[in-house]
Amino acid sequence: MKNKKTKIELASSIDFMVNGGKKLHGSIKTNFSKNGSVGLLCASLLNKGVTTLHGIARIEEVNRVIEILESIGVKIKWQDKNTVIISPPKEFKLQNLNIESAVKTRSVVMLIGPLIHHTTSFSLPHAQGCTLGKRTIAAHTYALEELGVKIKTTAENYEINAKKLKPAEIVMYESGDTACENILTASALIEGPTIISFASANYMVQEVCFFLEALGIKIDGIGTSTLTVHGVKEINKSVEYWNSEDPIESMMFISTCIVTDSKLTITRCPIDFLSLELEKLKRMNLKFKILKRYFSYNGRTKLADIEILPSKLKALEDKIHSNPYPGINIDNLPFFVPIAIRAKGQTMIHDWVYENRAIYFTELNRLGANITLADPHRVYIQGGTPLKPAQVVCPPALRPSMVIFISMLAAPGTSILRNVYMINRGYEEITERLNGIGADIKILK
């Protein structure tokens, strides 16, 4: 335990030094999905057989989830850079759960769905993850209660009891991604049909659905807001599955290219989960080309190669806001902030989901942006202001930290970004990859 803690603390002490103002060029590939990786690792616990998962992101968030699973008896072996082989224990040892790792990721709550099929009573600690205001698990709790799960929230833990499970017709309290994944994994091993209304159709939810189908679970309505899961009594098979690419990373590279006024090709972009974002950018006068369309390794997710060209952007008259899929993705919304800094005119961005995230956008004022916080959810951005170098500490949230990082790439001179653990939570070898297309970033330890 002590060694694991040291590893986490060392990761949080890393800084980036960015020599900004460089044009990017060439081509960069979208990596495998962070949220898909986490969802698949949790869902693999349903299988009594050996699960081989390809395309698992080598990031800090995944490391934390693997540490949690190993602590309760799961054997996990990295076969190569992005492939893991998962062998479940005969008996899960929830009493040995790695608390240090668990509190560092909100993904720990997604273990409720699969673990109720291995033990009738257990507890999980409250998690931290990104600090984005009040984030309850009400959507998880209400839906799981319909399946016969009882969850009691104490000062430090969620206490779960699941003695008599049953299929149900569930109306989701909110269209949350992780809540929907939890209900999918919970209902997969409850015999009979469970209907999930107002379900999330987002990419990571579809990923879990595709994986459950590979395990032999029939699911109707994938990609829609109504899912019907035909649960079975047991899953015991050897299975291989490919995780697909990350649309949030594709959007990050699009934003990076725009803010540095570069020409760049971004390959393996999950196009269905970027279409509205690209439509908004088209109306802002962004020039881009769809070069090629094809499928991901899972055979289900549609990909495209996108070439972004230098463009003179204009602000939209309408506000930019997120919605559940097929709206602008909640995690893609922050990447419109540096784009709006380049666009001529005023842009209003409404981040209605999280109470605190919009506040972090004002950190870009340190880099020369002109951003006014209207309230905890809305910012006004006056575009056209040149960016300048600065020293900034990463806020305690993944996407705002990344937005500051990529904006530093556009600011001529040397910037320092302190304490980048948040970025390493979600992005694999990001400095090396950006340096490979023309950036100048050094890692300071």
Q: Find, among 296, 188, 186, the residue nearest to 241 by Cα.
A: 296
Helix H, strand E, coil C: the string for 2-64 is HHHHHHHHHHHCCEEEEEECCCCCCEEECCECHHHHHHHHHHHHHCCCCEEEECCCCCHHHHH
* pLDDT at residue 130, as a whole number: 56
Summarize pLDDT for 403-420 with one digit per residue, the tens.
999 999 999 999 999 999
Residue 135's pLDDT band (cuts 50, 70, 90): low
Rounded Cα gap, residues 51 and 55, in angstroms: 13
The whole-model pTM stands at: 0.94
Q: Find, among 94, 98, 78, the residue nearest to 86 by Cα.
A: 78
* pLDDT at residue 129, as a whole number: 56
Compute the average pLDDT of residues 107-118. 96
∠ CA 354-355-361, rounded to 5°: 80
Rounded Cα gap, residues 98 and 4, in angstroms: 10
Rounded Cα gap, residues 201 and 213, in angstroms: 16
Rounded Cα gap, residues 304 and 292, in angstroms: 5
Compute the average pLDDT of residues 227-235. 98
Q: Which domains does the chain have, with CATH numbers?
A: 8-24+274-289+313-444 (3.65.10.10), 34-242 (3.65.10.10)
Q: Is the pLDDT at 300 greater than 90, yes or no? A: yes
Rounded Cα gap, residues 128 and 421, in angstroms: 13
Residue 121's pLDDT band (cuts 50, 70, 90): very high
* pLDDT at residue 201, as a whole number: 98
Q: Is the pLDDT at 132 greater than 70, yes or no? A: no
Q: What is the DSSP letter of 83?
A: E
DSSP 212-233: HHHTT-EEE-TTSSEEEEEE-S
Determine which of 17-31, 134-148, 175-189 has the lowest per-residue pLDDT on average. Answer: 134-148
Compute the average pLDDT of residues 318-341. 97
**What 3-state DSSP class applies to 343?**
coil
Q: Is the pLDDT at 127 greater than 80, yes or no? A: no
CB distance 77 to 85 below 8 Å = yes
Residue 128's pLDDT band (cuts 50, 70, 90): low
Rounded Cα gap, residues 95 and 377, in angstroms: 40
Q: Is the pLDDT at 3 greater than 70, yes or no? A: no
Mean pLDDT across the chain? 94
As a whole-number percent, the residues of the chain with pLDDT over 90 amount to 91
* Interacting residues of 270 by C-beta distance below 8 A, sequence separation 6+: 30, 203, 244, 245, 246, 247, 250, 296, 301, 302, 303
The burial of 80, by beta-carbon neighbours within 10 Å (0-12 exposed, 13-18 middle, 19 or more buried), is given as: exposed
CB distance 329 to 248 below 8 Å = yes
Residue 231's pLDDT band (cuts 50, 70, 90): very high
Compute the average pLDDT of residues 432-436. 98
* Interacting residues of 308 by C-beta distance below 8 A, sequence separation 6+: 254, 257, 258, 262, 263, 264, 265, 266, 286, 287, 288
Q: Find, among 72, 98, 81, the residue nearest to 8 by Cα.
A: 98
Summarize pLDDT for 356-378 with one digit per residue, the tens.
899 999 999 999 999 999 999 99
* pLDDT at residue 131, as a whole number: 55
Q: Find, among 148, 94, 150, the residue nearest to 124 by Cα.
A: 94
* Interacting residues of 371 by C-beta distance below 8 A, sequence separation 6+: 337, 341, 361, 362, 364, 365, 379, 380, 381, 382
Report phi then psi at 376, rounded to 5: -60, -10
CB distance 19 to 414 below 8 Å = yes
Residue 10's pLDDT band (cuts 50, 70, 90): very low
Residue 134's pLDDT band (cuts 50, 70, 90): low
Which pair of tokens denotes residue 8? 């986490």
Rounded Cα gap, residues 108 and 158, in angstroms: 11
Q: What strands, in cross-sheet order, belong to the sheet with 413-418?
A: 391-393, 413-418, 15-20, 441-444
Compute the average pLDDT of residues 235-259. 98
Give the distance from CA 35 to its chain's centroid: 4
Residue 136's pLDDT band (cuts 50, 70, 90): confident
Q: What is the DSSP letter of 386?
A: P
Which contiguous run of DSSP H or E holds residue 177? Answer: helix 177-188
Compute the average pLDDT of residues 303-311. 98
Which contiguous run of DSSP H or E holds residue 431? Answer: helix 430-435
Q: Is the pLDDT at 12 greater than 90, yes or no? A: no
The Cα-based distances of 285 to 278, 306, 316 in angstroms read: 10, 16, 10
Summarize pLDDT for 164-191 with one digit per residue, the tens.
999 999 999 999 999 999 999 999 999 9
Locus of tokens 């600090």: 131
Summarize pLDDT for 265-294 with one digit per residue, the tens.
999 999 999 999 999 999 999 999 999 999
Q: Is the pLDDT at 11 greater than 60, yes or no? A: no
Q: Is the pLDDT at 133 greater than 90, yes or no? A: no
CA atoms within 13 A on the CB side of 168: 19
Rounded Cα gap, residues 48 and 117, in angstroms: 11
